[in-house]
Structure 1
Amino acid sequence: MQSRIMENKVEGVYSVIEYKMRASNNQHDYLRLILENAHERLIANCWMSNYCGPLRFNTNEVVRITGKKNKLSSSTDTVDVYSADVVTPTGKDALITIPESLVGCPEDIHKLIELVDSICSEELKDFVYEVFSSREFALPFCTLAATHNPQHSIEGGLLKHSVECAEIVAGCPYLRIIDRDIATVAALFHDAGKILPRKIGGNASHIKMIDTLKVLHWSLLGLDHDCPNFGKALRDIWSLNKPTRHWEYEEKMSIATVVQMADRISTNLNMEKQPFSVEETWRNHVRHPITDQRFWRPSEAAIPNSFSESLSNSAQWR
């Protein structure tokens, strides 16, 4: 559930960023908590006289709190917490409780939440929530770089690249709704195996595929129980688009190609964006400083006025 503030009452789920036992000016002990989720950061005080809950927490542990908002003279908003319970996040809370400050680009966690909301299949939506309910998966997935190569190599690059791929797939107009949902989830988790320690040597693509199936294994078993066809489809897509043999025939999936193309589009756009981002807008030819790859695109100075006006008008309607 999302956090709710009704009048001065506060109720919601958060991750614990920091906790410390402190003493007030009148020497009364209280517990100070720094709490955060995808939408807000709270400073919370747990006064021993009217607090029910644990006195010790682990960093990034998820808690459900109830309390009252308290505005201090310093204009800093705090919450007096009456109760706190350590919980395993379920449903949408699995995404909401990811701390915004831990993500390289906070906007990406908001895009992730919107993306999952757009999935029509409740079984696939629940599968995504189940995967992210594990902090051992969610935190590295949202904070690690996607690769040691130049593209998406920043902190949080794995989440950014994964969301970009899923958004590209979700926007494909020629897919059936069910195919779009499956492909969106497949694109979101196509690099999930990268949260595991990097292995040296061997076939990198094969290792990534094995690692992806490994980290998603338990959630896939649950999906197999609820909807076996979805589990089979996702495994086939992540298995390097290798057609499944059925009797004497090979069963191909077009959505596997859509996912692969989304991966390439996201990677190439990021590679192109890096060198252009430090150049003047009129430049249309650049060289990547690391890979020496050269890129060309129409410069803004060459864009016709009619096209610029169309862009301006469309922006006003967004």
Structure 2
Amino acid sequence: MTKPIPLPATFQLDGVVEYQPAVAGEPLRALTVCHRDGRLNCRTGLPEAAPPPDRVWKAHVTFTFGSSDHREVPIVTTIDTDPGLEVFELIPDDAGLDGDIVQRLRDLADHLGGSPLRGFISDVFSMPDVFHCFWTCPGSQHHHHARPGGLAEHSIGMAEQVAAMEHLDVKDRDIGTVFALLHDIGKIWLYAAEDSPWNRVGHEILGLQHVMEPLTSLEREWPDAAAALAVLLSGRWRQRDGKAVLAIAEVVRGLDQLSAERDLRSRPAGRFAPWEPADWAPCRTPPDHREVAHPTR
């Protein structure tokens, strides 16, 4: 009697797919799948598909284990693109230089609940530059938080403080939380290309210009919040007789100054070496694979 051949175990994982450059003579392409537990280094025979414009490639990935280069590696068998996946669980826990900084971002997203602002934040962090570089960018180049990871430390810390202000109206608190989180987001592009003509307008306008597409999506669900954030992120909230157009702006400005002063008291200001845009990969050496999902037969 012929025994049935057992089917190989398959695993499923939601992640951000990144193909590596093709190598001549190699039948399989190398790719990585970024997810909460790290990076899964894989091989696949599937053709590379183009991700949505200015978005990381979010997908449901199926893989098994096979032999490549005389060692066992994950072999990706299907990639089902899903732009609607929230990005928070797809950012590796060790992306930040502070061990719990990524989880703190997830907690902020949970604080927003089912608000359209949660989707807006997911859209912003799904932008490749933000997904990869928010975690290593300095908060400034010669002032406060002038070190790798300073932007995330400063921004998430401020957002947490706003989120904890129970005396604020819920709408103001949520919009203020998002503003605090993203108030310096333009520095990712400002520091990456200091010779760009866009840099003459400052990091506020530069950041707003880059997040316009997510803001447009937010506008379809919550026009008032989109308009408020456009004003706040532009830095143009000081226009009415020198007073804030939106009261939450003064709250966030005060927290910004406090965060900067506290950092400068603990760490002397100094010129930070020019920042080269990079994600966490050069600082981490992930294993070739790890058990990251439950097998399905």
TM-score (norm 2): 0.69
Q: What is the CA–CA distance in structure 1 between the aligned matches of 2:201 and 2:32, rounded to whole Å?
A: 42
- Find the residue that maps to 2:190 and give its secondary structure: coil
Q: AA paired with 1:9?
A: F
User: Per-residue deviation at 1:256?
Assistant: 1.2
Distance 2:114 2:269 in 1: 43
Q: Distance in 2 between matches of 1:30 and 1:155?
A: 35
Match for 2:216 among 212, 217, 221? 221
Structure 1 residue 12: deviation in Å?
A: 1.8
For residues 252-290 of structure 1, the C-alpha deviation after alignment (integer angstroms, 9 at most, x for no partner) is 43211111122122222222333xxxxxxxxxxxxx374
- Contact 1:90-1:133 at 8 Å conserved across structures: no
2:174 to 173, 177, 181: 181
Higher relative contact order (CA 8 A, sep 6+): 2
How far apart are residue 232 of structure 1 and its match? 2.2
SS in 2 for 1:197: helix
Paired residue type of 2:38: E
* Matching of residue 111 in structure 1 with residue 104 in structure 2: yes
CA positional deviation for 1:186: 0.7
Q: How does 1:17-28 map to 2 (within 5 A)?
A: 18=20
Q: Which residue of 2 aligns with 1:264?
A: 257
Pair member with larger Rg: 1
3-state SS in 1 of match to 2:134: helix
TM-score where L is the length of structure 1: 0.65
Q: 1:69 to 1:168 in 2, by over 3 A?
A: farther
| Structure 1 residues 80-159: aligned runs within 5 Å | 80-85=75-80, 87=81, 89-92=83-86, 94-100=87-93, 102-120=95-113, 122-159=115-152
Match of 2:15 in 1: 13
* 8 Å CA contact retained: 2:62, 2:76: yes
Cα contact 2:244–2:250 (8 A) shared by 1: no
Q: Contact conserved, 2:42 with 2:75, CA < 8 A, in 1?
A: yes
2:15 and 2:61 in contact (8 A); partners too: yes
Question: Once the two structures are superposed, what CA deviation does each residue of 1:112-132 show, in whole Å capped at 9, x if it has no partner?
Answer: 122112113521111112222
1:30 Cα deviation after fit: 4.2
Structure 1 match to 2:153 = 160
Q: Which runs of 5+ in 2 are unaligned?
A: 1-8, 272-297
Structure 1 residues 33, 133: closer, same or farther in 2, change over 3 A? closer
Asked if the contact 1:112–1:163 (Cα under 8 Å) also holds between the matched residues in 2, the reply is yes
| Contact 1:14–1:97 under 8 Å retained in 2 | yes
Q: Name the count of aligned residue pairs.
A: 251
8 Å contact from structure 1 (residues 17, 36) kept in 2? no
Aligned equivalents of 1:214 and 1:56: distance in 2? 27
| Unpaired segments ≥5 residues, structure 1 | 1-6, 71-75, 275-287, 292-318
* 1:143-167 alpha-carbon deviations (Å, 9 max, x no partner): 3212102422222221221111111
Please list the CA deviations of residues 72-96 of structure 1 after superposition, one character each: whole Å capped at 9, or x if unmatched. xxxx9853422134x464341x233
Match for residue 205 of structure 2? 210
Partner amino acid, structure 2, of 1:54: P
Is the 8 Å Cα contact of residues 144 and 263 (structure 2) preserved in structure 1? Answer: yes
Looking at structure 1, the residues matched to 41 and 217 of structure 2 have their Cα atoms a distance apart, in angstroms, of: 37
How far apart in 1 are the matches of 2:20 and 2:206? 32
Are residue 232 (structure 1) and residue 234 (structure 2) matched? Answer: no
Conserved 8 A contact 1:90-1:129: no
Take 1:231 and 1:175, find their aligned partners in 2: how far apart are those partners? 19
The residue type paired with residue 84 of structure 2 is T
Task: Determine if the alignment matches structure 1 residue 242 to structure 2 residue 219.
Answer: no
Distance 1:171 1:152, change over 3 A: same
Residue identity matched to 1:16:
E
Select which of 35, 60, 71 maps to 1:37. 35
Q: Distance in 1 between matches of 2:57 and 2:218?
A: 26
Query: Residues 15 and 99 of structure 1 are in contact (CA less than 8 Å); yes or no, is this contact kept in structure 2?
Result: no
Amino acid at match of 1:226: E
